[in-house]
Structure formats: structure tokens, C-alpha cells
A and B are shown apart, each in its own frame.
Chain A
Amino acid sequence: MRRRPRELNWDFLRGFLADHGADPVDLDRFEVFRSRRRFFSRVGKGGLLALFAGFGSGADAALNGLFGRGLIPVALADEADKPTVPDKPGMLVHISHPISGEFPPHLLDDDETPTARHYVRNNGGIPDRAIDRNLEGWTLTIDGEVQRPLELSIDELKKMPSVSMPLLIECAGNGRALFEPRVRGNPWRRGAIACSRWTGVRLNDVLKRAGLKDSAKYTAHYGEDPPIGQAKPFSRGIPIKKAMDDHTIIAYGMNGEDLSAHNGYPVRLVVPGWVGSCSQKWLNRIWIRDKEHDSQKMRGYSYRVPTHPVVPGSRPPKSSMAVATSWIVKSLITRPTANDKFSVGQKIPVAGHAWAGEDAVAKVLVSTDYGMHWQEAKLNPPPNKYAWYRWRTELSFARKGYYEIWARAFDDKGNAQPFRQPWNPKGYLGNVIHRLPVRVNI
């Protein structure tokens, strides 16, 4: 009887390379290739046509310079051979490894964002556990400045009282592509935001179970995503006050199902209203600290904004930078679609969302003449403080022409969205007004 040959798999190959004296750096590189291969095996082509179709036929108009930089359809920045992600159809992929992608505003119209349209921003690989949906060995550790360090299994977590609510998560860099001068980083336009329904345990219930010491000041979050190369694990944190908010949750459910691999399976934090990097994906440890968390992504220029307005294009000293926390007042036009065509006199339903981080939205105004005249939209309050408001209005145009629908949200402190994007060196917290081009009988 012939001996069965040894199974050739990636682990075997990795072992083989290690046995034959491969450098640790090369082994790391092997892991990157391995995860890249896994990713691309789930990626197909052919989404581009659909992407262009979604933007209507105004592509050439966008190129003629009329629209200004903030208005060039996202698809035009796309390349013909960019990948699509099977469970995220229509996603504009900014980078395929580590994967980051967003959706155009008209695909974000739902009050509760479907999982298939929740943006993705990864700093490292996607853990094998998430791809294989394997819970074996998973625990969540709570340690540091607590009286009773915890190690919770998924079952223990699910036995605790649960909450379920739509909550906003928005990448700190959403809107970065609209900064002038251009800044480094993923060129997010307006779609790195979502308001999905998250189900899980309140973080404050878990922290009460562990018993916070008086010295507890800040959280430090860690996940299972494999860092790339020699990078340090991606880790950020929040002050205890925000951690104790009733809307800050350890989520194991997304829109009524388990989390998707891209969005953090099996468990992630949801820190609504704050920059998305606080909402650690693939969460497996929360370390309670006695001072502001000082991981790499908390220091320098990472997720930090200037403490005072700076000259566009300049880089203030690190001492003038502070941790980015809450989002600020902002709105999105989700109806109609950019470059839609209408007839004179046609009634056009216009709608979108507005939100303001820790604050309430007071009103949303809409203009079709570059801000000379405004009309107030009808504003529906959200189901909770950290979900987005719905606004609606109706427009019609008496004369043919090219128009821009502008939306401008105001918060309850008197702040409004700016007409030009205030600048910071990494392009965080962009909230310039949304301008949507439409055509009437032309």
C-alpha cells in the first residue's frame, strides 16, 4: 500500500520554510501573502459596470470642471480593475489589502444600514477566526484597573442583559478626499459612515461586573486582527465616562445576525458618535488604564487633531495635537442620486441624514442656488441619541439648467457645517456641506 503523501497546506509550507531557516521577517511576509490570497479568493471582478450605472450618466459633466472637486463622482476616481467584495456589492474599494471601502451616499439611504453597505476600514488582516466563523478558544479579557479581571466566553457574554439599537460608526477620515491641500491616507469621500443595528452587552454592565478601581481613567482596546509586517497591534481607547455611556456596547449582533467577517466577527466594540477607530473590531481584550491610553494610534498625529486652527498645508508640533473623540455636526444627501436628470416643474423628493456626535441636530437647511436662498427640511428625530436623524423635503425647478442641491445641518449649540473644509494635517473630522449635482431638462 502506498503511503499517503503529507497534506500540502499553508501551515505545512510555513513550517517547511521555518525548518529550512527562513528569516522571521520572511515568515511574516508569508503570512501577509497567505491572508492576501485568502482575501482575493473571495474577491471577484465585474462590479465596475454596476458602480458606474449607479452614478447615472453625468460622468462627463463631472469632468468638465463645473462641479468642483467635492463633486466628482467617486466612480471616476476608480480604476477599471479594482476588486469588488462579494458580500459588499457596490463598495468603492480604496485599497484591497488591508481592505478599506465605502459606499456612495445614495446607497446609504436606509435608516438602518444593511450589513452589505456598512463601510470597511481595516488596518491589518482579517483574522482566520472571522473568515472561518470559528468561535473555538475565543474569550474576551477585561483586565487592568479592575477589582475582578474577567475572561468571558461568548456564551457568558450572551447570558448578560442585551440591548439592540441603531448606532452610528464613522471613520475619522470620512471626507478626507475633500481636503485642500490634499492630505495623506485613504481618500474617503462621504460614505465611510453607517448606522446599522447593533446587538450586544452594554460595556458599563461588563465594567461593573469587573468592578472599576478608583484609578480607572481610560480603556485600551485590542483585537485579533493580524498586524501587517512589523506593525504594532492596532489599539485605541476611550475615557471611562464614554465607556460607561449606555450606548457604548460590546456587540455580537449586526442587523439581527452574527457580525460579518469584515465588520468584526465575532465581537466588536461600538462607540457611537465617536471616530470609528474607537470601535475596535475582532475585540478580545479591554485593558483598563490609569491614564490616557498611549498606544501608537493614540500618539503623534494618529487620530489626533490640532488644538487650534492651523494654516492649510502646515504641520503643527505634536504638542498642539489632541486625541480625536466625538464627531461634529454633519449631513448627507441620500436622495436623489448625484447627476440625476429631472424635468421642469417635476416634484423631486429630497432626503438624507444628519448627525452631530454628542450633540443634537437642531435643523437642516437646503439650497439649490449655491447658498443664496435656503429652505428648512422636515427633521425626524432618531430612535436614540447616537443614530442619525432623517430629513426630507421636496424641490421642483421652474427653469431648466444645472443645479446643485446643498444640505447644511445645525447642531443645538449653534454650530453649522462649514462651506469650505477647515484643514488639519491628517484629514480627520471632515464635515464640509454636501453638494449634490442634478440636471433639469439639459
Chain B
Amino acid sequence: MSFIVFRYGSTFKSCCRFGLLRAARCLRLCSAAALLMLTVCDRHDSGRASDKTVASQPVVVGSKPVSSEAMTPKQMYVAYCSACHTLELVESQRLDRTNWEWVMDDVVNEYGGTWITEQEREILIDYLVENFGPAGDSGEAAP
């Protein structure tokens, strides 16, 4: 639900329009309570390799109340990467391991985007190479 509220503010507005101001406020409060959570959203669940066991519960990042050990690589990817930017950017890339390592190190060291352990770094890079590598499986043919 929080996903819908974040992305389409019209939900709030249309509630108001139908006189459900109180309900809308409640909804807004709920969404606010969920603000620090990143919901693993459905549209990123379809069709990617390797990861058929994505859970739909929220993943909390930042202060790390949920250990990354409990996350699948895909959950980790969504949680860490989409904290700063939407995932189209990642999914449009076709990069080899050297380049993904370069990107990941820049994200951490240059852009200050996230904090990860060495182990998490390896898991994320493996995931990125497997899914968005030079011969990725999502559409465009490799050269």
C-alpha cells in the first residue's frame, strides 16, 4: 500500500474528492509510518533470473534493523540501490564485472549512497553481473 501512495499522489487527492478526508489522512499517516521502509515492488519481481524466492514483506534499510543476511540478493539490490534512484538506471546497463565493481565502489566511496560490507559488495556485484551483464537476459541482444 505504501508503494501506491508514494508513487501516485492522486490516491490522496481522490480520497479527498469523495469526502473521505479522514480516511485519507489515516492513509497518509500509515504511509508516513512506512516511509522508512522500502517495499520490494512487484514490477521488479518478474522475469529476472536467479531469484524466484522474493518475499513481499518490506525491507528496512539504513539503520539496518533487518540484517542483510536475511535478504536475498535481489532484495538487497532493490533495498540498497533504490534508496537513492529508481531501478531503471540499473536495468538499462549492460556492464561487465570490472565496470560493475567500478560503479559499486563509486556509489559507496564517491557518491556516499550506501554503506555495505565487503560480503554484501560481493553479493551485489554478483547479482548485477548476472542480471545486467554484457549478455543480460532482459531484451536487447548483446553485440
Q: Identify the A interface with B (CB < 8 A).
A: 8, 13, 17, 22-23, 25-26, 29-30, 32-33, 36-38, 40-41, 43, 65, 69, 72, 76-77, 79, 81-82, 93-98, 180-184, 186-187, 228-232, 296, 300, 315
Task: Verify B8–A40 contact, CB threshold 8 A.
Answer: yes
Assembled-state Cα–Cα distance A264/B141 (Å):
37
The answer to whether A182 and B84 have CB atoms under 8 Å apart is no
Does any Cβ of A come within 8 Å of B83's Cβ?
yes
Does B32 have its Cβ within 8 Å of any Cβ on chain A? Answer: yes
Q: How far is the CA of A22 from the CA of B35 in the complex (A)?
A: 12
Task: Please tell me if the beta carbons of B113 and A228 are within 8 angstroms of each other in the complex.
Answer: yes
Listed A/B pairs (15) with beta-carbon separation below 8 Å: A8-B28, A23-B63, A29-B36, A29-B61, A29-B62, A32-B83, A37-B5, A40-B6, A41-B8, A94-B92, A95-B88, A187-B93, A228-B84, A229-B111, A231-B111
Report the bound CA distance from A36 to B3 in whole Å: 11
Which residues does chain A contribute within 8 Å of B98, judged by CB atoms?
A: 315
Q: Other CB < 8 Å A-B pairs besides A229-B111, A315-B98, 19 of them?
A: A8-B25, A17-B36, A26-B63, A29-B61, A30-B35, A33-B6, A38-B9, A40-B8, A69-B143, A77-B92, A79-B91, A94-B88, A95-B92, A182-B93, A184-B95, A228-B85, A228-B111, A231-B111, A296-B110
Closest chain A residue to B110, Cβ basis: A296
Sorting the interface of chain B by its residue count into under 10, 10 to 19, 20 to 34 or 35 or more gives: 35 or more
Cβ of B19 under 8 Å from chain A: no
Closest A-chain residue to B95, C-beta based?
Answer: A184
**Residues in chain B near residue A300, CB distance under 8 A:** 110
Closest to A40 in B: B7
- Chain A positions within 8 Å of B32 at CB level: 8, 13
CB pair B94 A182 closer than 8 Å: yes
Give B63's nearest chain A residue, CB to CB.
Answer: A23
- B10 lies within 8 A of chain A by Cβ: yes
User: Measured between alpha carbons, how far is A297 from B90 in the docked complex, in Å?
Assistant: 21
Tell me the bound Cα distance from A228 to B134 in angstroms. 28
The CA of A296 and the CA of B91, in the complex, are separated in Å by 25
Chain B hits for A98, CB < 8 A: 85
Q: Given B36, B88, B92, B139, which contacts A30 in the complex, CB threshold below 8 Å?
A: B36
* Given A40-B9, A184-B102, A13 contacting B35 (CB threshold 8 A): yes
CA gap between A228 and B139 in the complex, in Å: 30
Is the beta-carbon distance between B88 and A79 smaller than 8 angstroms?
yes
User: Within 8 Å of chain A (Cβ to Cβ): is B17?
Assistant: no
Q: Is the CB of A26 within 8 A of B85?
A: no
- CB neighbours (8 Å) of B35 from chain A are 13, 17, 29-30, 33
Q: Which of B6, B29, B62 contacts A36 (CB 8 A)?
A: B6
How far is B98's CA from A315's CA once the two chains are assembled, in angstroms?
10
Q: How far is the CB of B17 from chain A (nearest CB, A)?
A: 14
Nearest CB of chain B from residue A11's CB, rounded to whole Å? 12
